[in-house]
Amino acid sequence: MKLLAGLFDALWEVANRGARPDDNAKQRVRKAVITLTAMIIGFLAIFWGAIYVLLGYPLSGAIPLSYAVITAVSLPYYFLTKQFAAFRLSQLVLVLLLPFLLQWSLGGFSNGSIVMIWAFFTPLVVLLVDGPRSGLRWLLAFLALTVVSGVLDSHLAVNVTPMPRTAQTVFFILNMAVGLISVYGVLNYFVKDSERYQHTLRENQERITALMLTDPLTGVANRRRLDDCLREAARRVGNAGESLSVVIADLDHFKDVNDTYGHDVGDRMLQRFVEVARPCIRSRDLLARFGGEEFVIVLPDTPLEEARVVAERVRSCIERMAEPAIERPLTASFGVACSTTTPVSNLLIAADRALYRSKNEGRNRVSVAA
């Protein structure tokens, strides 16, 4: 099993060499599945071609050997030129025709039905890489050739030596075994790489969503995330009668810090505020940058007095925060508001008014909205 898995891994690695640098994960899987199928059938074509020649069926042996030669030439050309569309079409046509040509050369259904397992490869592979509609078209082509085989069957068996029963049985078992292993290999890598593609896609979507909802400087939620959180919290207030509190914090004399020490130091102060404030709130609370030097803390299911205690805890921690870059202590002013009814659209306005009362009364304090 390890040897077989190692062989498939090596083939899959080679199959991925036809991808362009700008291909996405889905395109790479699509190209690799076609290429892997071509390589598997190419190797098997050499084996079966040699067997048929040794058994006295030179024409039947020449058909898979010709396919192997064409594939051996077209694969390097595809890897060099990256012309996938032409390679894909040529391989699908060859894989579709190969079992029918082989069956006809062996004398029709009675003598050549053992090779028809390979006819399923074309609609299967197209279904995987191109989707149901394209797969249906190739399935109809397969059915049409099957009808043609039925019409020609009586004429094909006239001048062909029947294959011994023992050989037919052995060939049938080998075809089924190798065919199922090959189908498993193709499906295995298609599923694994498709899952990897979907996982990467989800990660990218989550990363993009996080970037859209995160303040790049401080790493906390931005205004958009804050608005979403308040809307969701407002629904809970209306449905369950919870208390929703918000705290607005504003760094005192922040403009003077920027003007005196530079914006780099000002940015560091904003980051330090977040570092100090985060441990003071619960994991389900939201800390967001409201704009400039203002931050908002959303406290779901929190009454007014508890929200005031949280604000006072953050204020105290900020007051004790040491920052060597500036000579004066850094402080912040806070406004707290609470709502137990819906709507809560005026909650931020009330907290902002309480904040300005803190500013007017000397800063570095917590004020509660009426």
**CATH code of the domain in which 349 resides:** 3.30.70.270
Find where tokens 């077989």 sit: 4
Give domain status of residue 121, yes or no: yes
3-state secondary structure 107-159: CCHHHHHHHHHHHHHHHHHHHHHHCHHHHHHHHHHHHHHHHHHHHHHHHHCCC
For residue 154, tell me if it sits in a domain.
Answer: yes
Q: Is residue 217 part of a domain?
A: no
Structurally, how many domains does the chain consist of?
Answer: 2
Q: Do residues 94 and 30 both lie within one domain?
A: yes
For 133, the token pair is 């509609």
**pLDDT, position 1:** 63
- Domain annotation covers residue 216: no
CA dist., res. 227 & res. 231, Å (int): 6
* Reported pTM: 0.54
Return the pLDDT at 277. 93
Beta bridge partners of 368: 336
Domain-terminating residue out of 187, 210, 233: 210
CA–CA–CA angle 85, 88, 93 (5° rounding): 125
Residue 215 lies in a domain: no
The answer as to whether 299 is a domain residue is yes
Question: Under DSSP, is residue 297 helix (H, G, I), strand (E, B) or coil?
Answer: strand
* Last residue of one domain, picked from the residues 159, 181, 210: 210
Q: Is the dihedral of CA 191, 194, 196, 199 positive or negative?
A: negative
CB atoms within 10 A of CB 73: 10
Claim to verify: residue 230 and residue 183 sit in the same structural domain:
no
Structure tokens at 270: 């904003």
pLDDT of residue 189: 72
Is 186 in contact with 18 (CB distance < 8 Å)?
no
Residue that is written with structure tokens 């931050």 in the block: 295
pLDDT of residue 32: 85
Report how far apart, in Å, the C-alpha atoms of 315 and of each of 52, 79, 103, 309, 321 are: 87, 64, 85, 10, 10
Q: Is the domain of 232 the same as that of 201?
A: no
Residues 119 and 252 in one domain: no
Q: Tell me the C-alpha distance between 108 and 349, whole Å.
A: 85
119-163 tens-digit pLDDT: 777 888 888 778 888 888 888 998 999 899 889 888 887 777 777
Question: Domain residues for 194?
Answer: 2-210
Is 293 an annotated catalytic residue? yes
User: Do residues 13 and 62 share a domain?
Assistant: yes
Q: Can you give the pLDDT at residue 10?
A: 82
Domain for residue 218, yes or no? no
Which residue, 161, 186, 210, sits at the end of a domain? 210
Distance from C-alpha of 1 to C-alpha of 4, rounded to nearest angstrom: 5
In a shared domain, residues 191 and 249: no
Which value, in Å, is the radius of gyration of the alpha carbons in the chain? 36
Cα(286)–Cα(144) distance, rounded to whole angstroms? 64
Going residue by residue through the chain, which has 370 residues, state the pLDDT in tens, using 9 for 90 and above: 677 677 777 877 888 888 888 888 778 888 888 888 888 888 888 988 898 898 888 988 999 999 999 999 999 999 999 998 889 899 889 888 988 998 888 888 877 777 887 777 788 888 877 888 888 888 899 899 989 988 988 888 777 777 777 877 887 888 778 777 777 777 777 777 777 767 777 777 777 777 788 898 999 999 988 988 888 887 777 666 678 999 999 999 898 888 888 889 889 999 999 999 999 999 999 999 998 899 999 999 899 999 999 999 999 999 888 676 677 778 999 999 998 775 666 888 999 999 999 999 999 999 999 7
Question: Is residue 262 domain-shared with residue 167, that is, in the same domain?
Answer: no
CA distance 305 to 311: 10
31-59 per-position pLDDT tens digit: 888 888 888 888 888 988 898 898 888 98
CA distance 369 to 87: 72
Active-site hit among 293, 305, 312, 327? 293
How far apart are alpha carbons 145 and 139 in whole angstroms?
Answer: 10
* Calpha distance 64→351 (Å, rounded): 80
The pair of structure tokens assigned to 202 is: 């989800």
- CA 359 to chain CA mean position, Å: 49
Query: Do 250 and 159 share a structural domain?
Result: no
Q: Are 251 and 321 found together in one domain?
A: yes
Domain match, 196 and 247 both: no
Residues 252 and 336 reside in one and the same domain: yes
Alpha helices by DSSP H, listed for the chain, are 2-15, 25-54, 58-81, 84-106, 109-112, 121-130, 132-156, 165-212, 223-240, 254-261, 263-277, 304-319, 347-360
Give the per-residue pLDDT at 107: 84
Burial class (CB in 10 A: 0-12, 13-18, 19+), 286: buried
- Asked if residue 82 is part of any domain, the answer here is yes
pLDDT (0 to 100) of residue 162: 76
For residues 92 and 7, membership in a common domain is answered with yes
